[in-house]
Structure 1
Amino acid sequence: MGTSSPVTITVEAIVHSPVASVWKFWTEPKHIKQWNNASDDWHTPIAENDLRVGGAFVSRMEAKDGSFGFDFGGVYDEVSLNESIAYTLGDGRKVSISFIAQGDDTKIVESFEAEETNGVEMQQAGWQAILDNFKKYAESAKEE
């Protein structure tokens, strides 16, 4: 382990949906289970979210064929309704997400500290794929 600062990676997307809807789709477990995967051969069968400072969240991400799975989770450091979320992952890395209203659209900017196992490009591609999947879901989903 080095003592240098971790690399911060940023991914972003413009979602053609109002910020209040985007926030709901991003934070409610019934919606998280619908979009939280980087490819069609993965899914999120379990999602729990205690959306408050000090609250925890976890999403169980699994290959649909059952060959691999892991829990992705952490604790919220900041929650500002319809504006931003910041959290610390279980391994200590920091993540921040901004939801920027642009008329009837929402710009999402997600920054995270890279982990040391996988390459930066791979991590950026994976997180961008999940964000792109969220965009597709949020633009087609109906609020309940």
Structure 2
Amino acid sequence: MGADSPVTITVEAIVPSSVERIWSYWTEPEHIKQWNKASDDWHTPYAENDLRAGGKFVSRMEAKDGSFGFDFGGVYDEVNVNESISYTLGDGRQVKIVFTREGNDTKVIETFEAEATNSVEMQQAGWQAILDQFKKYVETAEQQ
């Protein structure tokens, strides 16, 4: 498959909260640092987010034991408050997140272009795990 037709992967979850609250949990750095991990042996000690078209974002994702870490970041292409976010990662891949109200819940759908290093299955599992951590974080926060 050539560079002109990247593989796209989609992950999704239905999260039990209003789209307005989901938006805050998804976009505010103090929340991002709480949920942005694929497993409990990882964490995000730093996050910044300039949420506007042309704005940059970065989250530092690290193994808690210090064995590995990386910056996940890019530039926003389009931001529609409480509806969708599109951005370009530092390596040029495109990502789109759509937030859809479903009664008292919100459906979050992320579609992203796969990178060439890891298998599609591994990437899908990793991004789904992070989205599942987001859902778990929201569920806990909403109970407090």
Range of TM-score over shorter length: over 0.9
1:60-115 per-residue CA deviation (whole Å, 9 max, x = no partner) reads 00000000000000000000000000000000000000000011100000000000
Q: Which runs of 5+ in 2 are unaligned?
A: none
2:77 paired residue number: 77
**How far did residue 4 of structure 1 move?**
4.2
Aligned 1:27-106 pairs, distance under 5 A: 27-106=27-106
Q: Is residue 138 from structure 1 mapped to residue 144 from structure 2 by the alignment?
A: no
Task: Give, in whole Å, the separation in 2 of the partners of 1:116 and 1:4.
Answer: 13
Task: Give, in whole Å, the separation in 2 of the partners of 1:11 and 1:96.
Answer: 11
**How far did residue 3 of structure 1 move?**
3.5
- Look up the SS of the partner of 2:6 in the other structure: coil
1:3 paired residue number: 3
**How far did residue 140 of structure 1 move?**
1.5
1:1-30 per-residue CA deviation (whole Å, 9 max, x = no partner) reads 943411000000000111000000000000
Q: Which runs of 5+ in 1 are unaligned?
A: none
Task: Give, in whole Å, the separation in 2 of the partners of 1:27 and 1:120.
Answer: 26
Would you say how many aligned residue pairs link Structure 1 and Structure 2? Answer: 143
The normalised TM-score by structure 2 is: 0.96
The normalised TM-score by structure 1 is: 0.96
1:112 paired residue number: 112
Cα RMSD between the aligned structures? 1.4
- Look up the SS of the partner of 2:116 in the other structure: coil
Segments ≥4 residues shifted beyond 4 Å:
none
Task: Give, in whole Å, the separation in 2 of the partners of 1:63 and 1:53.
Answer: 30
State percent identity of aligned pairs: 77
Task: Give, in whole Å, the separation in 1 of the partners of 2:121 and 2:76.
Answer: 26
Task: Give, in whole Å, the separation in 2 of the partners of 1:40 and 1:139.
Answer: 16
